[in-house]
């Protein structure tokens, strides 16, 4: 014969089982790459890509400056070689040289500005790298905790299921159906304790005759308000 105390014990197993299953689901949902980690990784990738782009611009500007510098050298060499005596040609060479030097200055300025941009880009990439490393270390530690917790929860759930199997196997069919029905209807709790004359499931003060009936350990008496099975513990 199933008594309220047996169903109360079954409920305690069910509550422990519900909590363990819910926690396992939560743990499993947290296993794997986190959004924080993915976005830190994406940030580093974008910052590194930016550095590559800036370096390529820098190297183009350097090449262009070198090219103009070589031309300046050539024109200067010719101008000061003493081989050119024609005043028209000398004046043309001088004008060329001025224009080339101006051009060189512009290119050197652009190169220096690009050098500065590359340095700034590298600082951002290095910041992104250190933030990623921090997040990765924290994530890895959290993951190993979760893996260990999962490894503990799985056998615990098996153990509780076995206990539940024994407890529900020992209960009679009618009591078990009532229990399942109420558990379903009352948010997982089919049995309520009685304390100071009150149903602890819905907090109403129970009629005296119901309390008297519920005191009989062999009877399954339900609360008049929430219908939960009443038990004295």
Instruction: Return the residue of 163, 202, 210, 211 that touches Zn ion, per CB under 5 A.
Output: 202
Considering the complex, what minimum distance in angstroms separates the CB of residue 224 from Zn ion?
Answer: 8
Structure tokens at 138: 């924290």
Instruction: Return the residue of 10, 171, 199, 221 that touches Zn ion, per CB under 5 A.
Output: 199
With binding defined as CB under 5 A, does residue 225 bind Zn ion? Answer: yes
Instruction: Return the residue of 178, 201, 221, 229 that touches Zn ion, per CB under 5 A.
Output: 201
Determine the Cα–Cα distance for residues 205 and 224; give it in Å rounded to an integer: 10
Stretch binding Zn ion (CB under 5 A), from 33-41, 107-115, 138-146, 225-233:
225-233
With binding defined as CB under 5 A, does residue 190 bind Zn ion? Answer: no
- How does 67-100 read in b/e, with b if 16+ C-beta sit within 10 Å? ebbebbeebeeebeeeeeeeeeeeeebeebbeeb
With binding defined as CB under 5 A, does residue 231 bind Zn ion? Answer: no
DSSP state of 199: E
8 A C-beta contact, residue 49 and residue 148: no
With binding defined as CB under 5 A, does residue 223 bind Zn ion? Answer: yes
With binding defined as CB under 5 A, does residue 16 bind Zn ion? Answer: no
Determine the Cα–Cα distance for residues 216 and 80; give it in Å rounded to an integer: 123
Q: What are the residues whose beta carbons fall under 8 Å from the beta carbon of 108, sequence distance 6 or more?
A: 65
Total number of residues binding Zn ion (CB under 5 A)? 6
8 A C-beta contact, residue 97 and residue 75: yes
* Cα dihedral across residues 147, 153, 154, 156: positive or negative: positive
Stretch binding Zn ion (CB under 5 A), from 8-16, 166-174, 179-187, 221-229:
221-229
The residue among 31 and 181 lying less far from Zn ion, judged by its C-beta, is 181
Determine the Cα–Cα distance for residues 77 and 88; give it in Å rounded to an integer: 17
With binding defined as CB under 5 A, does residue 205 bind Zn ion? Answer: no
Token pair 């069919």 is found at 173
Stretch binding Zn ion (CB under 5 A), from 13-21, 54-62, 69-77, 197-205:
197-205
With binding defined as CB under 5 A, does residue 226 bind Zn ion? Answer: yes
Considering the complex, what minimum distance in angstroms separates the CB of residue 178 from Zn ion?
Answer: 15
Q: Using CA atoms in the order 149, 154, 157, 158, what is the torsion angle rounded to 10 degrees? A: -150
The residue among 138 and 185 lying less far from Zn ion, judged by its C-beta, is 185
The residue among 22 and 181 lying less far from Zn ion, judged by its C-beta, is 181
Considering the complex, what minimum distance in angstroms separates the CB of residue 223 from Zn ion?
Answer: 3
Residues that bind Zn ion (CB under 5 A): 199, 201-202, 223, 225-226
């Amino acid at each position: 014969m199933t008594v309220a105390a047996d169903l109360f014990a079954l409920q305690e197993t069910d509550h422990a089982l519900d909590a363990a299953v819910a926690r396992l689901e939560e743990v499993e949902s947290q296993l794997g790459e986190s959004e924080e980690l993915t976005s830190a990784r994406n940030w580093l990738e974008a910052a590194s890509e930016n550095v590559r782009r800036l370096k390529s611009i820098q190297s183009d500007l350097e090449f262009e400056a070198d090219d103009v510098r070589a031309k300046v050298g050539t024109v200067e060499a010719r101008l000061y070689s003493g081989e050119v005596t024609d005043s028209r040609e000398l004046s043309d060479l001088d004008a060329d040289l001025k224009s080339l030097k101006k051009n060189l200055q512009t290119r050197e300025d652009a190169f220096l500005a690009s050098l500065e941009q590359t340095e700034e880009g590298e600082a951002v990439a290095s910041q992104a790298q250190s933030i990623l490393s921090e997040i990765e270390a924290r994530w890895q530690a959290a993951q190993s905790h979760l893996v260990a917790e999962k490894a503990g929860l799985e056998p615990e759930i098996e153990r509780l299921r076995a206990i539940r199997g024994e407890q529900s196997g020992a209960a009679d069919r009618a009591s078990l159906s009532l229990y399942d029905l109420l558990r379903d209807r009352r948010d997982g709790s089919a049995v309520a304790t009685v304390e100071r004359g009150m149903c602890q499931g819905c907090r109403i003060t129970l009629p005296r005759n119901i309390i008297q009936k519920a005191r009989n350990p062999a009877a399954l008496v339900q609360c008049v308000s929430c219908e939960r099975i009443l038990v004295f513990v």
